[in-house]
Amino acid sequence: MTIGFQKTPGRPVEIVFEAALGLPNDQQELLLFGRAGVGATGIETVITISAVSDVTAATTESELKFGAGSELSKMVIAAVKANANAARSTFPPIKCVPLASTATTITTAAQTAAKQVKAEFIVSPFDASTDSANRTTLKDLCAELSGAQRVENNQFGAIGVAANMSVSDASTLPAPDSQYLSLAWFKNLTPGALTTGEIAAGFAAVLAGNISPFNPVDNFVLGGVVAPALADRISVGAGLESEVALAKGWSPFRTKANEEVTIIRSVTTRITTDGTVLAGAYYDVQDFQVLYFWRKTIFTRLNQPDLKNVKASSPKAIAIKGELIRLAVIFQDNEMFQAVGQLAKDFTVERSISDRHRFDVSTPVNVIPGLHVVATTVRAGTEYDVVTV
């Protein structure tokens, strides 16, 4: 019996939840693959790190779980340092999938474990340039986790992160050409004990700590990274080493005069639209962060009580279209989308011709690009060059 059919005198009061009309949580999460020390437990399972904002606490926790001096514990520490030592206020959650101390691949079991959790950035410890097999494994994993059906698993898009320090000539870097990878080039031919896993983890932590509206991270300092030798510090500018690396789809690092190591620009390895035509847009990491957040926003709104378990009627189609346009306007107000007014007329909600229980929805959007270059022309002239006495 419900309160709607009660005959007994009384004043029953129930509570129902209205639809949440705002944007969902924009928190980005980080998952690290890395080799644990000999004797570590939890190999090829997901282990959460609790201390993500305190370097000392993160060191204690990661060394206890993965072994002091292990590759994975170093990666955790590097991820925390990247934000903490740069005085950042956003610290992404960190999950780890330990590999065996002798592992040479991201194993199938480790990948299976990773598929069970949400992570926008997934880090490989293996060299992004020389180890093509593990690079491909990482790319394929992130492509799978970015699939349309993965939203039901709270997965809205993932980018794989790895690094290289051994390549001296940027023109020899491979070009994977994929939106599912963001690869860091930190020229450092004599890195000492520093590992590519640490560089990749620190880079990914900066990307994951960058929440909406997902502004560029140009010149962001990678806290805790020691500057390379003078001979390994790359030239920066048009036609120089930084430009060569970016053209290959790599994210290069530079060293400032004060010895800080910074990100020049964070890009995915997507450099063409079809394997031939150069991509003129949608290759920055932040472009895909916006698109994946839009995917999460749509999924969240369509799962609210007023749009779930309802009839596939024309009024509901109108309601869905109206809500998606409203949310797109919020994205515009938050400097993630532009030209929503012009594009709104092309938002469509149509009944599928093959399944009358289904609506096919289209939301064309224009992501506001990051401002990376301000090109100024100084015009030296003689106008007003008049002397009057």
Which pLDDT band, with edges at 50, 70 and 90, does 232 fall under? very high
Find, among 125, 160, 115, the residue nearest to 142 by Cα.
160
Mean pLDDT, residues 209-224: 95
DSSP 3-state of 248? coil
pTM score above 0.85: yes
Which pLDDT band, with edges at 50, 70 and 90, does 268 fall under? very high
The residues that bridge with 87 in the sheet, in sequence order, are none
Which pLDDT band, with edges at 50, 70 and 90, does 223 fall under? very high
Find, among 285, 284, 250, the residue nearest to 28 by Cα.
285
349-382 exposure pattern, b = at least 16 Cβ within 10 A, e = fewer = beeeeeeeeebeeebebebbebeeeeeeeeeeee
pLDDT given for residue 267 in this prediction: 98
Residue whose pair of structure tokens reads 């170093």 in the numeric block:
74
Find, among 123, 228, 121, 135, the residue nearest to 173 by Cα.
135
Statement: residue 326 has pLDDT above 80: yes
pLDDT given for residue 17 in this prediction: 86
Q: Are 79 and 32 in contact (CB under 8 A)?
A: yes
Find, among 223, 190, 332, 215, the residue nearest to 265 by Cα.
215
Domain boundaries, the chain: 30-286, 304-389
What is the tens place of the pLDDT at every residue in 332-388? 999 999 999 999 999 999 999 999 999 999 999 999 999 999 999 999 999 999 888
Q: Contacts from 110-114 at CB under 8 Å and sequence distance 24+?
A: 110/33, 110/44, 111/137, 111/141, 113/44, 113/45, 113/46, 114/31, 114/33, 114/46, 114/141, 114/145
Mean pLDDT, residues 67-80: 98
d(CA 286, CA 370): 8
DSSP codes of every residue in 265-276: --B-S--BSSSS
pLDDT given for residue 287 in this prediction: 98
pLDDT given for residue 13 in this prediction: 87
pLDDT given for residue 133 in this prediction: 98
One-letter identity of residue 287? D
Q: Which secondary structure element, helix H or strand E, spans residue 123, and what is its range?
A: strand 121-123
Percent of the chain with pLDDT over 90: 92
Mean pLDDT, residues 191-204: 97
Mean pLDDT, residues 53-59: 96
Q: Which secondary structure element, helix H or strand E, spans residue 160, and what is its range?
A: strand 159-164
What is the tens place of the pLDDT at every residue in 105-136? 999 999 999 999 999 999 999 999 999 999 99
Mean pLDDT, residues 206-225: 96
CB atoms within 10 A of CB 154: 10
Find, among 78, 158, 62, 175, the residue nearest to 125 by Cα.
78
The residues that bridge with 65 in the sheet, in sequence order, are none
Which pLDDT band, with edges at 50, 70 and 90, does 1 fall under? low
Helices marked H in 209-249 — which ranges? 241-247
Statement: residue 276 has pLDDT above 90: yes
Residue whose pair of structure tokens reads 């570590």 in the numeric block:
40
DSSP 3-state of 185? strand
Report the Cα 195 to chain-centroid distance in Å.
Answer: 22
Look at strands 181-185 and 121-123 and give their pairing. Answer: unpaired
